[in-house]
Amino acid sequence: MNGNKYTNGEIRNGNGFETNGDSCTYDDLMITAKYVLDRIPKMPSIGIICGSGMGALADTLQDKTIIPYGEIPNFPVSTVEGHAGQLVFGACSGTYVVCMQGRFHHYEGYPLWKCAMPIRVMKLIGVEFLIATNAAGGINPAFNEGDVMLIKDHINMMGFAGNNPLQGPNESRFGPRFPPMCKAYDRDLIEKAKDIWKNQQFDGRLFEGVYTCLGGPNFETVAELRMLKLLGVDAVGMSTVHEVLTARHCNMTVLAFSLITNECVMDYYDHSQPNHEEVIDVGKLRQSTLRRFVEEIVAYIAKNRMK
């Protein structure tokens, strides 16, 4: 369908998406990484995942190299509106980075290991720091549409159901069989991001909180959202957790934040309903601020955290 090479017994459904199959081998991922490295001038040190409606950062990189997902061996293809579906390489605040302009979701028909596979490719091409962004619904009653939440922790609901991107034989060249997740999100970067937001006087409010990923593609019921609130969840989305699990498994340093694009419907008598168009629209309204926010974070990492 898109020129990708599918290996290891992966099975496609009628839409061309994989519904079963083993994880890519290390050799498969090396083929993917070599394809990418052959097309860029140098190795990036920071990877950025652009959430729904937040792809503007990739558009403003200097000296860009763009590689569509469909041209990359073994790579999945993004099918969601608001996700351009390409790797964009270039300079951000003077530092060479790679942006994923479009990510992959379990509800598209991909297994979680495939959704998170680009993170391992990032590792193989030189990335040591991951900045993951997403659009999320606000469960915390203090949150308003357009607020930003730094993720301090997550609850892996899909993992509770036995669905984890690290399932299957462990590849020790990436990381250990049983990786710890008690410090999944780098505390120093969280504190520095808060300082940056305050010092730069960005418009809007910044919080920190707990995120969870559900499988989607439907938005949540009132009962589900009330349950998540009881569990201590502040924001809910359909991505990020499996990417962070994979990044930490291969020893990447992670910072992540959510743009709150809608307030979750927690009352049966509330007649409002979430929709994807709202997610995209809020992302577009906030993209300038979030782009500058990420640029400042990249500058800090380059100056203070990179070897």
Transcribe 37-103 into DSSP letters. Answer: HTTSSS--SEEEEE-TT-THHHHT-EEEEEEEGGGSTT-----STT---EEEEEEETTEEEEEEES-
Choice among 107, 163, 171, 181 that is catalytic: 107
Q: Phi/psi at 215 (nearest 5 deg)?
A: -70, -30
CA triplet 283, 132, 172: central angle to 5 degrees?
155
Q: What is the DSSP letter of 24?
A: P
Please confirm, yes or no, whether 239 is among the known catalytic residues. yes
| CA-closest candidate to residue 84, choices 114, 118, 131, 50 | 50
How far apart are alpha carbons 215 and 305 in whole angstroms? 34
Cα 128 to Cα 49, 120, 237, 251: the distances in Å are 14, 11, 25, 8
Q: Which are the contacts of 77, defined by CB distance < 8 A and separation ≥ 6?
A: 1, 2, 4, 69, 70, 85
Choice among 74, 78, 93, 239 that is catalytic: 239
How far apart are alpha carbons 54 and 252 in whole angstroms? 22
Please confirm, yes or no, whether 276 is among the known catalytic residues. yes
Taking the CB of residue 76, how many other CB atoms lie within 10 A of it?
26
Please confirm, yes or no, whether 83 is among the known catalytic residues. yes
Please confirm, yes or no, whether 136 is among the known catalytic residues. no
Q: Phi/psi at 260 (nearest 5 deg)?
A: -80, 110
Please confirm, yes or no, whether 54 is among the known catalytic residues. no
Choice among 276, 278, 299, 300 that is catalytic: 276
| CA-closest candidate to residue 53, choices 170, 117, 145, 135 | 135
Please confirm, yes or no, whether 107 is among the known catalytic residues. yes
Choice among 10, 108, 243, 295 that is catalytic: 108
Choice among 10, 58, 78, 83 that is catalytic: 83
User: Cβ(265)–Cβ(274) under 8 Å?
Assistant: yes
Please confirm, yes or no, whether 288 is among the known catalytic residues. no
Choice among 33, 54, 193, 238 that is catalytic: 238
Please confirm, yes or no, whether 135 is among the known catalytic residues. yes
Choice among 52, 74, 78, 258 that is catalytic: 52
How far apart are alpha carbons 259 and 38 in whole angstroms? 34
Choice among 262, 295, 296, 302 that is catalytic: 262
Residues taking part in catalysis: 52, 83, 105, 107-108, 135, 238-239, 262, 276
